[in-house]
Amino acid sequence: MVGALLATALLLLATVYVRRRATLVPGRFQSLMELPIEWLAGVVRSTGGRRWAEFAGLVIAIFLFVLVANMIGLLPGVGVVGITVEGEHGGEETLVPFVRAAAADLNFTLGLAIIAFVAFVAWGIRANGLGGYLKELLIAEPAYMTPLLTPIHLISELSRLISLSMRLFGNVFAGEVLLAVILSLVPLFVPIVFLGLELIFGFVQALVFALLTMTYITLAIAEHRQHESGDEHAGEAPDHSEASPAPGTA
């Protein structure tokens, strides 16, 4: 939890600092801050369809937040500052660090996943209306398939929530365990390789969380638009919506 608060504070500080002295020709620090935002905005624009600007902020915010939280958890030394707690059954004392990787806690990732879930459901309702959204959710395309497909559809909607949170949690938690195991096996030099690997994973998982949020929002918006107009994401949307009833894809 402290890790997540630290990440929030860091991002806010950077935002305020850059906003204060923003210049048209960016300096070093401002360029560093603008780099991920511009890059991700480009990605969202190229894959997010016509209304990309509405949810680009959410996607970028999720990416930066998860990225900074992951990086804070990887800082060397943060894991050794903490309080010692007696074991539950009078066992050995264990050290509970103040700052640990925020995403190694299911509460953090589940909270983020709930935000993403609410976001894409809300965008779906806003784009298609409540009736349109419920019709899309509850009634299958050939109407006689409804009893078979509707439960699958509902499960796949809900499994998005679970898989979003579990993916981030599992990756970061497994990374922490991996680092601990490697540290206890070979304490010198070898953990550096795995630390580098965890840096890549932290970046990739932050990107995955943000991009999946974007994809779900795009799908929710585009579901009914396909036959209205042949805009640029119409070619991509049918692939996804055909794939989405399968429970494993979420």
Partner 1 sequence: MEFQLLAAGLAIGLGTIGPGIGIGIGFSRAMEAIGRNPEASGTLFVPYILGLALTEAMAIYALVIGLILIFAVG
Quote the tokens at residue 241: 């919506």
- The region of 55-63, 109-117, 123-131, 165-173 touching partner 1 under the rule CB under 8 A is 165-173
Query: DSSP character for 49?
Result: -
Quote the tokens at residue 2: 């402290």
Quote the tokens at residue 226: 């396909």
Total site size for partner 1, rule CB under 8 A: 18
Nearest to partner 1 of 70, 171 (CB atom): 171
Amino acid making up residue 72: I
Residue owning tokens 């932050």: 206
- The region of 15-23, 86-94, 149-157, 209-217 touching partner 1 under the rule CB under 8 A is 209-217
Nearest to partner 1 of 15, 38 (CB atom): 38
Amino acid making up residue 160: R
Interface pick for partner 1 out of 70, 109, 156, 171 (rule CB under 8 A): 171
Rounded to whole angstroms, how far apart are CA atoms 51 and 91? 57
Closest separation in Å from C-beta 222 to partner 1:
16
Closest separation in Å from C-beta 144 to partner 1:
30
Question: Where do the DSSP E strands lie in the chain?
Answer: 82-85, 94-97
Residue window 189-208: x/- pattern of binding to partner 1, with contact defined by CB under 8 A: ---------------x--xx
State whether residue 58 is helix, strand or coil.
helix
Interface pick for partner 1 out of 50, 126, 167, 224 (rule CB under 8 A): 167
Quote the tokens at residue 143: 């109407």
Closest separation in Å from C-beta 205 to partner 1:
8
Quote the tokens at residue 75: 């800082």
Handedness of CA 192, 197, 200, 205 (dihedral sign): negative
Asked if residue 18 lies in contact with residue 29, where contact means CB atoms within 8 angstroms, the answer is yes
Q: Indicate whether 121 belongs to the interface with partner 1 (CB under 8 A).
A: no
Closest separation in Å from C-beta 43 to partner 1:
6
Nearest to partner 1 of 112, 212 (CB atom): 212
Rounded to whole angstroms, how far apart are CA atoms 75 and 25? 32
Residue owning tokens 């890059």: 39
> What stretch of H or E contains 119?
helix 106-138
Q: Indicate whether 215 belongs to the interface with partner 1 (CB under 8 A).
A: yes
Q: Indicate whether 174 belongs to the interface with partner 1 (CB under 8 A).
A: yes
Interface pick for partner 1 out of 7, 60, 212, 220 (rule CB under 8 A): 212
Quote the tokens at residue 173: 């938690």
Q: Indicate whether 226 belongs to the interface with partner 1 (CB under 8 A).
A: no
Interface pick for partner 1 out of 43, 78, 99, 103 (rule CB under 8 A): 43
Q: Indicate whether 180 belongs to the interface with partner 1 (CB under 8 A).
A: no
Which residues of the shown chain bind partner 1 in the complex (CB under 8 A)? 43, 46-47, 163, 166-167, 170-171, 174, 204, 207-208, 211-212, 215, 248-250
